């Protein structure tokens, strides 16, 4: 029987890490992810886990130590947010290019500047093309479940890439919700042990990691990394099937909420999906065919599957909790529309930037998006595809 609990998103992540019982955790405090290493070091101090905890002097060193530990043949984890991730950025690319399946909860927070400790996705968007698998989580349950599935995906021989599990800072990281935990022994069995093929601490076979990789080979190595990211899609789905057998909870590349027959749809990630589901229910009660596509797997990006899922919609809005600062829409918007174009789907699609720096997003905001979509689907006219939601400037 699963265990019913009430936990915050950070607590849920720390408990997942406790059950995974990694060999090494190297972490540095940063709001709002600090609680994860804080809870975890209590497990270390009390002997609940067998982990070596390295209280590093920066996030750059956190990721460097994880790289060293993972290359050595152990399972290494860290957790961070915002500027912490930015400081890691150099090592983020090195971790993935060395094909080290490090797993990291990322509690999303606005990236400086100016300084802001609240939620948006600008931190995650900074590593979106770095060779990390990126899973997003609507609530504490998903943050927990994604972490339990993480190592099976990352360490798969066809993948061997690092993986980050995102959740919204404060909104889910610090909010207590009901959650179903899996028993420790079942997690242990599901996650399994890590048996790398080659590792530094193999006395029988010394290896060298991290070469000078010049014109003759780097291109091929990058293409192999890209293949691994493509392979990850199937592995993610396979692991989700096993997870469903264990828990009954079903996961896919994204969640389609009342999308089957929807005329209008919103695409978004993390906690905003919960708010959107409430609005969809209300609109459905009014006879309006509204739907939601909630991204779970952001990298590898399921472009083809998204285009297929949206093909019967008359208008789509893509919500980005990060300014693209590029004059052509938010990062999720450009990915979704690119996927639609390549898959020959041409329907009016609007970019909305919202929730920057923790700006509150209510059902009223989401309702206004669906209202815009109704108008667009009636007229098939789009005045301005690059819009804002909840911005004090007179325009949307």
Partner 1 sequence: MAYNVKEVVANKKPVFEAGHRMCAGCGAPPVARMVMRALKEGDHAVVSNATGCMEVSTFIYPYTAWGESYIHTAFECAGATCSGVESAYKALKRRGAIKDTEHFKFIAFGGDGGTYDIGLQSLSGAMERGHDMTYVCYDNGAYMNTGIQRSSATPRFADTTTSPAGDVIPGKMQSRKDLTEIMVKHHLPYVAQSIGVNNFKDLYEKAEKAIYTEGPCFLNVLAPCPRGWGYPTDDLMKMNKLAIDTCYWPLYEVENGVYKINYKPAKKLPIEEFLRPQRRFKHMFKPGNEWMIEEFQKEVDKRWEELLSLEELTNKEN
Residues of this chain that interact with partner 1 (CB under 8 A) are 23-24, 26, 50-52, 54-58, 60-62, 64-74, 76, 90-91, 94, 98, 200-203, 206-214, 216-217
- Could you tell me which residues come within 8 angstroms of residue 97 by beta carbon, excluding any fewer than 6 positions away? 131, 221, 222, 225
Shortest distance (Å) from residue 58 CB to partner 1: 6
Q: Choose between 65 and 309: whose C-beta lies nearer to partner 1.
A: 65
Shortest distance (Å) from residue 169 CB to partner 1: 25
Instruction: Tell me how many degrees the CA angle 16-20-63 measures, rounded to the nearest 5.
Output: 90
Q: Choose between 60 and 249: whose C-beta lies nearer to partner 1.
A: 60
Q: Which residue has the tokens 């093929």?
A: 197
Q: Choose between 92 and 239: whose C-beta lies nearer to partner 1.
A: 92
Shortest distance (Å) from residue 87 CB to partner 1: 11
Q: Choose between 192 and 211: whose C-beta lies nearer to partner 1.
A: 211
Phi-psi region of 232 (alpha: psi -120 to 50; beta: other; left: phi over 0): alpha
Q: Choose between 103 and 181: whose C-beta lies nearer to partner 1.
A: 103
Shortest distance (Å) from residue 76 CB to partner 1: 7
Q: Are 143 and 274 in contact (CB under 8 A)?
A: no
Shortest distance (Å) from residue 214 CB to partner 1: 7
| Alpha-carbon gap, residue 395 to 366, rounded angstroms | 16
* Exposure letters 57-80 (e unless 16+ CB within 10 A, then b): eebbbbbbbbbbbbbbbbbbbbbb
User: Dihedrals φ, ψ of 118, to 5°?
Assistant: -95, 180
Shortest distance (Å) from residue 128 CB to partner 1: 21
Q: Choose between 113 and 206: whose C-beta lies nearer to partner 1.
A: 206
3-state secondary structure of 53: strand
3-state secondary structure of 58: coil
| Alpha-carbon gap, residue 190 to 193, rounded angstroms | 9
Shortest distance (Å) from residue 85 CB to partner 1: 16
Q: Are 102 and 165 in contact (CB under 8 A)?
A: no
3-state secondary structure of 309: helix
Shortest distance (Å) from residue 42 CB to partner 1: 18
Q: Choose between 215 and 384: whose C-beta lies nearer to partner 1.
A: 215
Q: Choose between 187 and 295: whose C-beta lies nearer to partner 1.
A: 187
Residue 175 DSSP class:
-
List the beta bridge partners of residue 194: none
């Amino acid at each position: 029987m699963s265990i019913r609990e009430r936990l915050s998103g950070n607590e849920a992540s720390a408990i997942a890490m406790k059950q995974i019982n990694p060999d090494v955790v190297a972490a540095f405090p940063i709001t709002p992810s600090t609680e994860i290493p804080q809870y975890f070091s209590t497990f270390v101090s009390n002997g609940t886990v067998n982990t070596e905890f390295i209280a590093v002097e920066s996030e750059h060193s956190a990721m460097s130590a994880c790289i060293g530990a993972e290359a050595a043949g152990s399972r290494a984890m860290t957790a961070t947010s915002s500027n912490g991730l930015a400081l890691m950025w150099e090592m983020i690319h090195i971790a993935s290019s060395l094909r080290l399946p490090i797993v990291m909860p990322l509690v999303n927070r606005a990236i400086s500047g100016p300084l802001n400790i609240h939620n948006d996705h600008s931190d995650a968007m900074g590593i979106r093309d770095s060779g990390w698998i990126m899973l997003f989580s609507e609530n504490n349950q998903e943050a927990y479940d994604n972490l339990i599935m993480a190592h099976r995906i990352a360490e798969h021989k066809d993948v061997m890439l690092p993986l980050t599990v995102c959740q919204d800072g404060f909104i889910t990281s610090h909010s207590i919700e009901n959650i179903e935990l899996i028993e420790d022994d079942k997690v242990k069995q599901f996650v399994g042990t890590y048996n790398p093929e080659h590792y530094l601490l193999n006395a029988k076979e010394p290896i060298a990691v991290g070469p000078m990789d010049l014109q003759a080979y780097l291109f091929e190595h990058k293409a192999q990394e890209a293949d691994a990211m493509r392979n990850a899609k199937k592995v993610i789905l396979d692991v989700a099937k096993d997870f469903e057998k264990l828990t009954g909870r079903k996961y896919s590349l994204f969640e389609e909420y009342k999308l089957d027959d929807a005329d209008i749809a919103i695409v978004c990630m993390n906690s905003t999906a919960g708010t959107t589901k409430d609005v969809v229910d209300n609109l459905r009660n009014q006879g309006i065919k509204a739907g939601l596509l909630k991204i779970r797997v952001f990298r590898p990006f399921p472009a083809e599957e998204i285009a297929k899922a949206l093909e019967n919609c008359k208008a789509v809005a893509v919500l980005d909790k990060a300014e693209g600062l590029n004059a052509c829409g938010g990062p999720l918007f450009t990915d979704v529309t690119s996927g639609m174009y390549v898959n020959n789907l041409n329907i009016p699609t609007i970019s909305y930037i919202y929730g920057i720096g923790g700006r509150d997003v209510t059902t009223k905001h989401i309702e206004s998006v669906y209202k815009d979509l109704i108008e667009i689907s009636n007229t098939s006219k789009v005045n301005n595809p690059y819009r804002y939601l909840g911005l004090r400037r007179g325009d949307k």
